[in-house]
Each structure stands twice: as C-alpha cells, then as structure tokens.
Amino acid sequence: MPFRFLRLVRLAAGSAALLLAAVPASSVMRPVHTSTSMASGGVVANELTSKGPGPRGRAAVRRQLSEQGPGTYIGEMLAERDSALARWRDMGGVPLTVWIQPTSDVTEWRPDYVTLVRDAFLDWDGLQLPVRFAFSPDSAAADIHVTFIDHFDEPISGRTKWARDDDWWIIGADIVLAVHHRGGAALDDESMKAMALHEVGHLLGLDHTEDQTSIMAPRVRVRALSDADRATVRLLYTLPPGAVR
C-alpha cells in the first residue's frame, strides 16, 4: 500500500505539513531564525534574508545546477523554497550522533521499530555524504533525537523539525514518528522503514518531488531510495546553502 501525502496550505512562516489519507504520511517544518531548535508553528522573522554564495558564486551554482541537475529533483526543491537550499555543514569526518528512543509504553510499539529507523539512517549514511551518522545510547549527548508517539492529532504519521542559521546551514533537527495511523492501525515494518527514510531525507535538507519512484515523493510508492534520491542529495551536498538567484 503506498504512502499518501497531501500538502497543506503554506503558513506565513513557510511551514508545511503533509496530510495522510488512511496510510502513513509525513511533514517537515520549515526553518526559523534561531540558533537552537525549531518549534512547531515557528515563523521566519521578516528581517531574515539568505546570504547564499554571493552574486558571482550564485552564477557558478546556477551553471552547476544546469549541468548536474538532470536526473535530480533539486529544481523542484528550489521552486518550493524560493530558490534557496539548506543543508548541514561538512562535518570533517565527525558524525552527527543519533539517539533513537529505545523503549516506549505506547500500545503496540515494538523494539523492531528501533532497528527499522536505524536501518533508514544507515541507508542514507551509505551514500557517504559530507555529513554522516553514528548512534548514541545517551540522549543528552546526541545531536538528533528520534522519538515515538501513539499518533498525531493531525492526519500524519511522522514529522521532522529542523533549524537553520542565517546562512541556511542546518544546525539542528529531530524526528517524531507515530506508532499508529490516526485511524488506529499500527504501522507495519515496511511502513515504518519507508516513513523513516522519508523523514531522514527531510532531515538532510530534501523536499518533496512529484517523482513517484522516489522516497521523497508526496505519495510514496517505494520502500527504498531511488537513483533520483541519491543523485539529489549528493548534488545538494556539493552546493553552498542559501539563495542561488
């Protein structure tokens, strides 16, 4: 059964959520002007501007996008974000540490969910991007937290929140996953893994694509990363963050 995602009307902040129609869904909350974490429903301050790579650098970025963009959906991302990109800094070989909630009192929660979420991170980590992941049992020391809830009040089954600085570097992110669809049924293994893959894609800086063969499609019909998912995130991590126009 495919995931079904439908976009809500964009908020003034540039925040967006995805609707669920009887199957798992996801949402990503857009960045705010903050150096800590982004709160649900946060807004971008009116005075915030994206510096980007500068006029000369932007021309080089546009040439690179023209040459390397085919086969990716980075153009869709630029259209979604008013021609700006966000990503993590090159960590210089130091991985971001991920804490996945190891236990839960949510009915029908299973330890297998932890393994499935971990596998989703490892699938993205296998691309050997400039940002890598490692796992920590210490939530206080982790850069990224993945937690489970029973269900969302909205018709969604996952949410990623990330924050960026003025230069569009992502500086923090967390993921919340629901054990149950809002209709009551628990997510099966394939659904949890696919939803986690989708959310980690958002965490890395990816947006949605209309390519139905990609894990980042609004209506996800696949259970693994596509060639376009891989090509898009690899291209993203060769580009400077910020506005390209």
| Contact (CB, 8 A) for 173 and 36 | no
pTM of the model: 0.79
CA pair distance 205, 221, nearest whole angstrom: 21
Closest by Cα among 222, 205, 175 to 80 = 205
CA pair distance 134, 195, nearest whole angstrom: 20
Residue 9 has pLDDT above 60, yes or no: no
Q: What is the predicted pLDDT for the residue at 46?
A: 25
Residue 182 has pLDDT above 90, yes or no: no
Residue 54 has pLDDT above 70, yes or no: no
Q: What is the predicted pLDDT for the residue at 115?
A: 98
Residue 69 has pLDDT above 60, yes or no: yes
User: For residues 207 and 50, which has the higher predicted lDDT (pLDDT)?
Assistant: 207
Instruction: For residue range 136-164, list pLDDT tens digits in order.
Output: 999 999 999 999 999 999 878 889 999 99
Q: What is the predicted pLDDT for the residue at 168?
A: 95
Q: What is the predicted pLDDT for the residue at 206?
A: 96
User: For residues 29 and 194, which has the higher predicted lDDT (pLDDT)?
Assistant: 194
Domain holding 127, by residue range, is 5-243
Q: What is the predicted pLDDT for the residue at 201?
A: 97
Q: What is the predicted pLDDT for the residue at 53?
A: 55
> Average of pLDDT values for 120-134?
97
Q: Tell me, what CATH number does 136's domain have?
A: 3.40.390.10
The total number of structural domains in the chain stands at 1
Q: Tokens for 15, please give them.
A: 């925040």
Instruction: For residue range 211-225, list pLDDT tens digits in order.
Output: 999 999 877 789 999
